[in-house]
Copies of this chain bind each other. A is one copy, B any other.
């Protein structure tokens, strides 16, 4: 038995999220099915975390435990040949037997994309929130600054969700504009449920002039979700990369 890490990219548009469900197509379920077809083993795929229905990934990190005689480097092609085009195994590598992609994740980077052109785009649209209104990028950048650092992000958590700790460290958040596309890149040691989409939804209201940049600071201080904007929709969100301490990951 060996533990293998799979780096996975997916267009989440037509999936009901990462986590397996009985009667719906999910990322985990689809990959586990391909693994079974290939190895005839019932293999559990464990990811760095779930992504919601409609959310995408460029570098989701997963592990499997397997007895297959197929060499690890051959798993990439063999699995991709059994997967739909919307899911791609980018890389496969042997990792230490106690490496865990969720518990050992040190940092994650997410991107939220907002397409502000007056009409949608069939190429960028599927991976963006189509929001055809002018957004003041400088206001959004000013507001984003309040996010950086270690804070109690209770005010940026889907209401009703119950996690013990709500303190997270955001290492960086960058807001940029490429033509009509606004990209929010955020890197942190962990994120609460819906946290990135609540940040995006609030920054959109700031960019639109409906909220002051300071509202982000107030959401942090008062731990009050209701001071923020709506949760931005899932199609704009992509998990870009998950980072680990490589001494804990590889032999």
Contacts and interface: CB of A to CB of B under 8 A. Distances in A.
Interface stretch (A18-26, A87-95, A158-166, A217-225): A87-95
Interface stretch (A34-42, A121-129, A133-141, A207-215): A121-129
A85 B125 contact: yes
A186 interface: no
A211 B88 CA distance: 31
A47 to B, nearest CB: 16
Contact of A80 (B85, B89, B119, B123): B119
Interface in A110-130: 118-123, 125-127
Nearest to A130: B85
A153 interface: no
A232 interface: no
A123 B127 contact: yes
A90 B76 contact: no
A121 B8 CA distance: 10
Interface string A61-92: 00000000000000011001000011111110
Interface of A: 9-11, 56, 58, 76-77, 80, 85-91, 118-123, 125-127
